[in-house]
Amino acid sequence: MVAERPDTSPQSSDDAADDGEITGRRTRPRAGSSADEAFSVETVVTEERGRWVVDIIVVFADGVVRKRIDSHPTKARAELSARMIKRAAERDIRGPRNG
């Protein structure tokens, strides 16, 4: 016997407009998070066990967070990924980037 699922769209969210149009999903910081207070972001490419890895470093008022993003077979591909990740992360940082 198969349980019936409610008739919902996989794209539905609580951000949908009243007329059924989807306005897009928004990310929200967790309660107690300092996500809105990021000062800078950097990406680092290093070689590790024959592969090139991309780490992101985010500086907050209360500390620094470093996370591994992915590993790539070539340095060129890792550097391309690092540039794209950094540009996307910089969009969310408020204030002047260079001072």
Domain that holds residue 82: 35-90
Q: CB under 8 Å, gap of 24 or more: what pairs does 93-98 form?
A: 93/38, 93/39, 93/40, 93/41, 94/36, 97/40
Asked if the structure places residue 67 within a domain, the reply is yes
Please check whether residue 42 lies inside any domain of the structure.
yes
**Which pTM does this prediction carry?**
0.59
Q: Which residues contact 88 (CB under 8 A, 6 or more apart)?
A: none
Distance CA 69, CA 43 (A): 9
Distances (CA, A) of 18 to 12, 27, 63: 12, 20, 41
Return per-residue pLDDT of the chain as tens, 99 residues: 445 545 544 444 444 444 445 555 665 666 666 555 788 899 999 999 999 999 999 988 888 999 999 999 999 999 999 999 999 888 877 655 565
What pLDDT shows up at residue 60?
83
Provide the number of structural domains found in the chain: 1
pLDDT of residue 92: 75
| Domain membership flag for residue 15 | no
The reply to whether 97 falls in a domain is no
